[in-house]
Amino acid sequence: MKRRRLSNHSCGVQNGAFYLPPEIICEILSRLPIEAILRCKSVCKEWSRLTEDPHFINLQRDRANNQLPRLILQSHYKVSLQNLLLLDTERCNIRKIPFKKMQLPSCSKYKLNRFRLVCSCNGLLCIALSDEIDPVIILNPITRESVILPSPERRIRAVSNQIGFHFDPSSGKYKVVRECRSMGNHKHISIEIITLGESSWRELSAPVPVKFNQGRAVFWNGAFHWKIEDSDYRSGDKCILGFNISDEKFYTISCHVKFGVQNYELLVLGGCLTLVEHDVHLMKIWKVSGTKSQGFYLSFQCTYDTHVRWNNSLFYSVIWKTSHDSFLLKVTHSDSKARLNQHLVQFFPEKALYSPLKIPGLPPNFSSVCFKPTLVSLS
């Protein structure tokens, strides 16, 4: 078969050699893994300028958002406290990202082990302190850029500090929402919002008195969602508090289901806001259905037998659901000295099969957030 010759019109000729136009190079490079793109930046000045162009950054971001996410890990193991870890679960490899090389103020208090991973959006990562509401940092671990959000007027030690961070398409800006329950007054709960670029936080008023449960804010359908308890605590009915980031209005989703204290988690599975109930050896899936105009409601989806009797010493959390109907689980085992050992396991419910991921360099104890690496700039 004859090879098809590239025409001068489609590719061009320069000094007797074929070359590709920038738009084609852009299409090719934007499909590569982020590590390959970073290597390509050093090939020549033209490729370096191309990968810094806003059009390329947006194209690569959109393609990354349509791919299976990776995980950003924070090790709680003393050997690697100063590195973020970028985990590719498909290739089962880990890349270290030194926290000390981030563009942070030169201050000794900014140590990674003081922070916790909160959430990510468009390749930007939000981290915050566990026991104080300040500082909150937005950073891109790939480009090493960072922004420290403005400090509150007064210092508060927090009992709980749940934070949501995401992009608002209506304004074209990123917003951060946080719920804070201050120490010494457990009943005082404040909810604040800030847009990146603003100089101060604004306080929000929830529609009903709420009691937040532990867990992260989950972003779905243009809104943050938190696990809360109904204002009538005696009923024990759990529900979900939603906050739309475009119109900045709250709403609630009632569950009408009696759950235990800490045996369910809120997350997005298969594009749906989902409650996963952990009932000893059963995994029960509840899905949020409905529309914003007509209202949302919780509907039962299915039950899986995990064939394991989970307890306080052996438990799991769901990270995501894959396209071939399996779940990526983080399985935690606590030994006799209360030391935690954690693994990533693929669970195939229809086959009752567990397949541990063999990942060199995976720390024995870690926290994680789903992450899609990009070159999005904070400037």
Give tens-digit pLDDT for 204-213. Answer: 887 666 666 6
Residue 174 lies inside a defined structural domain of this protein:
yes
Choose one of 35, 61, 87: the last residue of a domain: 61
Domain hosting 42: range is: 18-61
Residue 324 lies inside a defined structural domain of this protein:
no
Please state, rounded to an integer, the average pLDDT across all residues of the chain.
84
- Tell me which of 128 and 80 has the higher pLDDT: 128
Residue 107 above 70 pLDDT?
Answer: no
Residues 43 and 145 in one domain: no
Residues 104 and 182 in one domain: yes
The confidence score (pLDDT) of residue 140 equals 96
Q: Angle at the Cα of 54 (from 83 to 91), degrees rounded to 5?
A: 40
Residues 54 and 75 in one domain: no
Residues 56 and 94 in one domain: no
The confidence score (pLDDT) of residue 183 equals 58
Residue 257 above 70 pLDDT?
Answer: no
Residue 171 lies inside a defined structural domain of this protein:
yes
Residues 84 and 164 in one domain: yes
Residues 80 and 185 in one domain: yes
Residue 179 above 60 pLDDT?
Answer: yes
Specify the pairing of strand 249-258 against strand 237-244.
antiparallel
Residues 89 and 134 in one domain: yes
Report percent pLDDT > 70 for the chain: 80
Residues 100 and 191 in one domain: yes
Residues 90 and 195 in one domain: yes
Residue 255 lies inside a defined structural domain of this protein:
no
Residues 99 and 200 in one domain: yes
Residue 293 lies inside a defined structural domain of this protein:
no
Residue 297 lies inside a defined structural domain of this protein:
no
Residues 77 and 159 in one domain: yes
Task: Give me the CATH number covering residue 50.
Answer: 1.20.1280
Residue 173 lies inside a defined structural domain of this protein:
yes
Residue 44 lies inside a defined structural domain of this protein:
yes
Q: Range with the lowest mean pLDDT among 89-93, 114-118, 225-229, 266-270?
A: 225-229
- Tell me which of 139 and 183 has the higher pLDDT: 139
- Give how many domains the chain has, as a whole number: 2
Residues 49 and 86 in one domain: no
- How far is it, in rounded angstroms, from Cα 97 to Cα 38? 14
